[in-house]
Amino acid sequence: MPDSQLEYRGGDIAHNITKLGSLDLIGGGQVVVQGDYAYVGHMKPRDGTTIINVAAPKNPKIVWQSKLGDDKSHTHKVRVAGDIM
């Protein structure tokens, strides 16, 4: 599929979008972007939260990841207020 027609779940098509970069993460939940950082909650158990530096959108970098202590927990939602996550 061309970058100008990235598919959205449910079959809808988003037009006029240019893919700048990508990062392979497992089980992404809620994503919050604030400034140069994206905060990603994960649906898959044991994966907590990932913080990504997106200052250079073509080359995103993981700067922090949390792992949870059991197989039944996940952090699919993220909240950011100022410098508090």
What is the SS3 assignment for 73?
Answer: coil
Residue 5 has pLDDT above 70, yes or no: no
Structure tokens at 12: 């809808």
CA gap 45, 60 in Å, rounded? 24
Would you list the domain boundaries of the chain? 21-85
Contact 29, 77 (CB under 8 A): yes
CA gap 41, 75 in Å, rounded? 5
Q: Which of 78, 9, 77, 76 is nearest to 43 (CA)?
A: 76
pTM for this structure? 0.74
pLDDT in tens, 20-55: 999 888 777 889 999 999 999 888 777 788 999 999
